[in-house]
Copies of this chain bind each other. A is one copy, B any other.
Amino acid sequence: MGVSDASEGGCEGLLSIGAAAARAGVTERALRYYQELGLIEPSGRTSGGMRRYSETDLERVARIRELQTLLGLNLDEIAGVLRSEDRAGQIRAAYYDAGTPHERQRLLRESLELTAELRATVEAKRDGLAAFLADLDARLAKIRAALDD
């Protein structure tokens, strides 16, 4: 595994915006726009000012797209979800020094509530799609019956 670019100055193993966009299935413009809104920050910059993205950055972009396309959330709502997930991650990371047991419990309950709320949204959407599917299957059956005349 050789370093592909010796001039990156501390950005070894990170992806350029073009490579990151291709991997994440979005445009470079979208990545810059998410950054402008504070949804994501590239893990590094070269001395020339070029953005460098890590694998963790790519996972975050995938999460944004998932919340956008599957749930139809706007970027403002997604910012809220990401904020709460970041908080939950910090709690887990610093579990043993995250204040009193009482404080930890409060944070966990908050995380539980937000996740349960998101779950309800997802479930409603899935049920809607299931009903849609059933309707389409009924239509398909009718068309096939008409073809067998």
Contacts and interface: CB of A to CB of B under 8 A. Distances in A.
A91 to B, nearest CB: 9
Contact of A112 (B72, B137, B144): B144
A136 interface: yes
A144 to B, nearest CB: 7
Contact of A129 (B88, B116, B125, B146): B125
A105 to B, nearest CB: 7
Interface of A: 66, 69-72, 88, 105, 108-109, 111-112, 115-116, 118-119, 122-123, 125-126, 128-130, 132-133, 136-137, 139-140, 143-144, 146-147
Given A69-B72, A70-B129, A105-B147, 10 more contacts: A70-B128, A72-B72, A108-B146, A108-B147, A112-B143, A112-B147, A116-B140, A118-B136, A122-B133, A123-B133
